[in-house]
């Protein structure tokens, strides 16, 4: 039996949510912490059970204070996102999603290697006709050498 075809609205919503997930990875990997703050302006972000961060300024400041960046202004990482699963409630304008992440890093003195892997647990809300993050919980399951990614004393890994 063929899989059911999603409705046009559901397919559009699913794609918008996938784009938000990808945008997060691109912003972190690109070192655009101001953009990351904007992405989460109306949301909370919690890392590994820590106190949730709320609002653009707090999230931007946390990224600047926690993640190491290099001459090109980036953390020299690539977030690989997989196993994306989203459930959309079109009528309520809400959605939940979960995904896996693997963070790769490479520097001249550090060969390309995975440094963290875990899960994103997300909630979304549609406001003014656009999907936005409402909450992201990051759960890091496995950690490698994050000494070139997170400042000494930083709060975890896998952002």
In a domain, 31, yes or no: yes
Please report, rounded to a whole number, the percentage of residues in the chain having pLDDT higher than 70.
Answer: 89
What mean pLDDT is predicted for residues 55-82?
A: 97
Comparing 54 with 154, which gets the higher pLDDT? Answer: 54
In a domain, 91, yes or no: yes
Which residue in this structure is represented by tokens 């020299």?
76
Task: Tell me the residue range of the domain where 116 lies.
Answer: 8-143
In a domain, 66, yes or no: yes
The C-alpha atoms of residue 156 and residue 143 are separated, in whole angstroms, by 9
pLDDT of residue 152: 78
In a domain, 69, yes or no: yes
119 within 8 A of 100, measured Cβ to Cβ? yes
pLDDT at 129 over 70: yes
Domain count, the chain: 1
pTM assigned to the model? 0.87
């Amino acid at each position: 039996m063929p899989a059911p075809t999603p409705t046009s609205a559901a397919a559009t919503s699913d794609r918008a949510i996938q784009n938000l997930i990808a945008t997060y990875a691109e912003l972190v990997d690109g070192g655009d912490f101001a953009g990351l703050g904007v992405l989460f302006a109306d949301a909370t972000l919690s890392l590994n059970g820590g106190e949730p961060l709320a609002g653009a300024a707090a999230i931007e400041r946390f990224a600047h204070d926690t993640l190491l960046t290099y001459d090109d202004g980036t953390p020299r990482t690539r977030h690989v996102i997989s196993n994306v699963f989203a459930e959309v409630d079109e009528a309520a304008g809400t959605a939940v999603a979960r995904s896996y992440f693997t963070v790769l890093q490479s520097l001249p003195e550090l060969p390309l290697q995975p440094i963290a892997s875990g899960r994103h647990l997300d909630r979304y809300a549609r406001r003014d006709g656009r999907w936005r993050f409402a909450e992201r919980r990051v759960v890091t399951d496995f950690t490698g050498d994050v000494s070139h990614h997170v400042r000494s004393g930083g709060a975890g890994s896998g952002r």
